[in-house]
Amino acid sequence: MDETLEEGNELAHPFRGRLFDTLSGLKRPVATDELAKLLDRHPNGIRQHLEVLSDAGYLVRNKERRGRGRPRDLWSIDPDAMPGGARPTAYVELSRWLGRVLDEGTKEPGEVEARSRQIGRELASGGGNDLDPERHFHDTLAAMGFQPSRKRLTSKGVTYCLNNCPYRDVVRERQELICSLHRGITGGLLEKIDPSSSLSAFTPKDPDKAGCTIKIDGPLAA
């Protein structure tokens, strides 16, 4: 039986916390049925938990139309989600990614960027071909903890503002290295999600104030 929790403690529920962590790890929009299979729950039961997290501002629900029949729900991390009441961090993932590229003998920022593209391609590989490319890219950034917002969207390109730096404590010490890693991952995401678009600008900012910008030119914005 589901236990009642006071408002603001939605993630304190063990299963909802696990559900949120699963979506964060997948880093893409996920259908109710897929989550039910991953977590060995009935879709109707898991949907109730998803709706609670959505109402609390942790998740976003979008509809995906697939020809005939009812559209299915796709769930992703809300870009403005603040689990535990604080801006999200991602130091475990950062440590793993850095260890991976540095173990390969990479030292210079340019080499870090080049090698980390493979990480970005892997992050995007689970999204499938039926996802809208722009939403897939945006929702992956959100799942990584960057709290992205579309600063400008035109027929030729889209600019994202990253309102949170999930690596801020490490960036203070090694900004060039960490931002090179992030730029490479971003390029890899784009190569997998929409290879016909290009990363035309990547502008780092103060990690404590955030506000880094990413500009993509090409069909992704369409």
What domains are there in the chain, each with its CATH number?
10-78 (1.10.10.10), 88-221 (3.30.1380.20)
- Distance between CA atoms of 214 and 198, rounded to whole angstroms? 11
Strand pairing report for 72-77 and 157-162: unpaired
Say which residues have a Cβ less than 8 Å from residue 82's Cβ, sequence separation at least 6.
88
Amino acid code (one letter) for 73: D
* pTM of structure: 0.68
Residue labelled with tokens 């949907």 = 47
**pLDDT tens figures, 50-84:** 999 999 888 888 877 666 667 788 888 887 776 65
* Element of type H or E holding 62: strand 59-64
CA distances from 31 to 41, 99, 117, 192 (A): 13, 32, 27, 20
Q: Kindly report, residue by residue over 164-178, the tens digit of the pLDDT.
A: 888 888 888 889 989
- Can you name the residues that pair with 71 across neighbouring β-strands? none
In the structure, what pLDDT confidence band is assigned to residue 155 with cuts at 50, 70 and 90? confident
The helix or strand, by DSSP H or E, that contains position 50, with its residue range, turns out to be helix 43-55
